A = this chain, B = another copy of it.
Amino acid sequence: MSEVSRFGHVELEDMPVDIRERLEPIVEKSGFVPNVFRALARRPRELRAFLDYHDALMDSDDGLSRAERELIVVATSGANHCTYCVVAHGAILRIRARDPEIADKVASNPYAVTLSPRERAIVDLALLIARESETLTEEDLDTARAAGLTDEEIWDVGSITALFGLSNRIAHLTALAPNPEFYLLGRQPR
């Protein structure tokens, strides 16, 4: 087993050029290649689709803020017990929310962590979709709307939850290990 994934991985220099070019800004910014990309690069078509889906949902401040989007990811990944996503997106959430404690609180107990009413509505909807989406009804959406979420924001909550439900499952399938750097990122106030 490689230290990245139980199915092995691909180093940045061995990835197809379009993927390499796409990942380089991320690598430059963070200083390392997140393991999810090295593990998924064994299947370039799937990695491209994953990146496209990810960017369509996560690279935006339109409606949900970037911090709110990461909040959904950490709550979903905590409820799904996904170590990679909790550690990696926990780091991003700490940075985006400028709060060194929020990620550990949300990941360990998304059900009762103290949040603003808007954040609580976002997390409640995400948890419902992550763990028992078959029971979701119009009333559940009305609860979210009553907390101020628009239908486009509700779509975003649901789709981000669904995408990271996919991501959590692939991380479990591949025994994906977080890069050591993620554990410390965003923990010290700057």
Contact pattern, A 41-52, Cβ under 8 Å of B = 1, otherwise 0: 001011011101
A138 at the interface (CB under 8 A from B): yes
* Residues of chain B lying within 8 A (CB to CB) of residue A129: 169, 172-173
Distance between Cα atoms of A7 and B149 in the complex (Å): 14
A111 at the interface (CB under 8 A from B): yes
A111-170 residues at the B interface, CB under 8 angstroms: 111-114, 129-130, 133-138, 141, 151, 154-155, 158-159, 161-163, 165-170
Partner of A104, one of B86, B114, B159, B163: B86
* Residues of chain B lying within 8 A (CB to CB) of residue A35: none
Distance between Cα atoms of A173 and B7 in the complex (Å): 33
Tell me the minimal C-beta distance from A7 to chain B in angstroms. 6
A87 at the interface (CB under 8 A from B): yes
* Residues of chain B lying within 8 A (CB to CB) of residue A78: 108
The interface-forming segment of A9-17, A21-29, A64-72, A182-190 is: A182-190
Distance between Cα atoms of A87 and B90 in the complex (Å): 14
Contact A188–B184 (Cβ < 8 Å): yes
Q: How large is the interface on A (under 10, 10 to 19, 20 to 34, 35 or more residues)?
A: 35 or more
Partner of A172, one of B83, B87, B136: B136
* Residues of chain B lying within 8 A (CB to CB) of residue A80: 133-134
Q: Which residues of A contact B (CB under 8 A)?
A: 6-7, 43, 45-46, 48-50, 52-53, 55-57, 77-78, 80-83, 86-87, 100-101, 104-105, 107-109, 111-114, 129-130, 133-138, 141, 151, 154-155, 158-159, 161-163, 165-170, 172-175, 178, 180, 183-184, 187-188
What 9 additional pairs, Cβ within 8 angstroms, besides A7-B151, A162-B169? Answer: A7-B155, A49-B50, A81-B109, A81-B134, A82-B109, A83-B105, A101-B180, A162-B173, A184-B188
